[in-house]
Structure 1
Amino acid sequence: MELQAVDGADARDVMRALRAAIHGAGPALGLGMVDPAARDVPAGTAVVVTTSGSTGIPKSVVLSRSALIAGALATAARIGEGSWLLALPASYVAGLQVLVRAIVSDREPALLSGAFTPQAFAAASLMMTSTRHGERVPTFTSLVPAQLQKLLDAAEHDTVVASALRSYEAILVGGQALPAAVLERAQSAGARIVRTYGSTETSGGCVYDGRPLDGVSLRIVDGEVQITGPTLADGYLDDPERTAATFPVDDDGTRWYRTGDAGVLSDGVLQVRGRLDNVIVSGGINVSLDRVEQIVRGIPGFAGAVVVGVPDERWGEASVIVCPRGDVLRRSDADHLVSARDAVAAEIGAHARPARLVLVDELSTLPSGKPDREAIRRAVADDAPPPGEAPGRRGLN
């Protein structure tokens, strides 16, 4: 089947090509691919999304028309139908699914062009107001946590932004864990938030507020979250070994996706504990960086923090908190680090305490808006304190 390269920077181009692919009238889209013309894709493919993600390892995920449509229909069944605003890159699976939902519902999406700002978001949101048969058409959008936090900050002194946040029937938030403090702020501001969990391999979010969408099932195997259902990708293009390892098939023919995430199911509700591979060994003890980050983000002023692991001469590896300077409350940097170390020690143990706090003007991000953890880790590792320097001081400014 033919594969056509589409520049994901222009959402209108993606929308036109995606509509043809979904309806079966055009070639499959190649988003982020270097040489799509030299590739062959299975029949029924709608999109091949190539991304390095936050780990820097490239992968080309093959998504069929049926998988994308199944995700869109299941979302409508869960939260309702209406008009959608695209506020994410169209080349990112969450943004791509916004366009698919618009196509399936036969409604043109609103497109937020240019850099994401609270004012642009508010203007686009409030222009979406429409009625059908005398009733208001519900509106929806999808964001990452960093966007939501930026909107909440602006809403504190901008009534137009605050009104825009309240105008949505539901705001899907995914891509990474949403800090509890940010969720509470959003709910207090009147925003209706739905936390989503999924990946490119599941055609985007397929678990809403911990519960799988209709047709999707979950299981935990050796602590790992695994997913099955009609939204699963066909696999990885030209990589049968990775496909077989990531999408195992049971004896009864059920095909599963191994997420690589740690999690537990409690009364049918999924709780994700972080990446199974996002672990460092500090002083001979395994430390989950995701768990450390979750605790740190619960501290006032650290909701946007990222925790990465770097080499350490004494302990082998150590964790470092990287946080936007503007988020941190006005206290001494040393006090902030002590607060974070104390909080982590109380929850996990002294061995997991972060070694340093690095304040930056802004975090490196991926096109999706998520933190670019590999770039952040490299930058912090390159700025490691010299031998003999006390951890916790370098990078504090």
Structure 2
Amino acid sequence: MSIKILHTADWHIGKQLLKIDFAQDMNLFFDWLISCIEEQNINVLLMSGDLFDQANPSQQAMKQYYYFLKQLLPLNCKVIITGGNHDSPHVINAPKELLEILDISVVGGVPESISELFVTIELEGQKVVVAAVPFLRDKDIRSVAAGESYDDKIELIKHGIATYFSEVNEYYKDNYKGVPFIVMAHLYAQGASVSESEREIQIGNQAGVESSVFGDEPHYVALGHIHRPQMVGKPHIRYSGSPIALSFSEKKDLKAVCILELEGDNFTISSLPIPKFRKLISIKGTVEEVQKEIVNYQSDSPLIDLAEVLIEEENENIEHIRILEELLTTEPQNGLQILKGSIKFKNEVAGTSKLLTKGEDINDFSPVQMFEKRLEQDDSIENSRDFVNAFKEIMEALQSSDSID
């Protein structure tokens, strides 16, 4: 008898891109995931953080989550969900006792005892133990010291993360040694390929950890946070990635889930592609080239495809700007909606902006990116990097307080 485990992460239920709601995308993914669990005879579903896109998800997002769990009930599939940096531990943990009755384990934040992370699954004599480690917030892994420098903080966070996983491994060795072991984690591992849609984690990802931090004990490490599926360091340390493209930087990514099959003490690891429910594309060229591509576009997606338009012309022309604005306000055609656009003139008139961007929304940028844009507008500011680092620390502190409220 084998145990089959599916690793996924970063669902970001409630996500919007420039006011386009991805609820339909998630419904189609959940339908596919239910079918996958049935067809692949999956016994355990792991979701490694960032269940929701916001710490305080909307009623619609909560309803979508609970409806998915309801659909899972007849499948006799054990579910383990951890909180990510986008999630509020309190929101994730609120229904904890009720979900346990349904064989659904949730670990929204770091518990008082490491023992509470461990979940044991046993099927007809085959056994596996999972350490469901959620996102480790600053307050979970270190004490703040007065007068510490920025570099000190980075090193203390790295040390705190390493110490926590060392303690997880020690608990495993003391209580489960010899049992196949999976660790779930939500963090930035150095060397991982990122996209534009991940919120920076622990002061701008500078406190990212080496893959060696997980030690030699885990047979598999189920990572969340990075939206591109990939291995980190070793084949058994993997990001599953997000199930749908969450920004235009992910338009070429092949989304997937990881499937593990455990027989005896051996794991077989494979990747299963997720169908694309809509495409995110970039249309580049002159005004004429862009218009032609839009007119000739034909979609074969279940949902409307989304496009960013990047126009480049030799000389500045007010008519070209008007055409771009018209494209951005035109109703979808041929299964394509123009979501944002920019126009660049190679021979700009002195004093004009090099890049005129239309259709962008404040939600398209992280707070740090907006702060950096503001700094770029003021030539009198020196040491702007120090300002950005200080701003990142403030944002991290605010995010930590949001998760406590």
The structure with more radius of gyration: 2
TM-score by length of 1: 0.37
| Greater RCO, 1 or 2 (C-alpha within 8 Å, sep 6+) | 2
TM-score by length of 2: 0.36
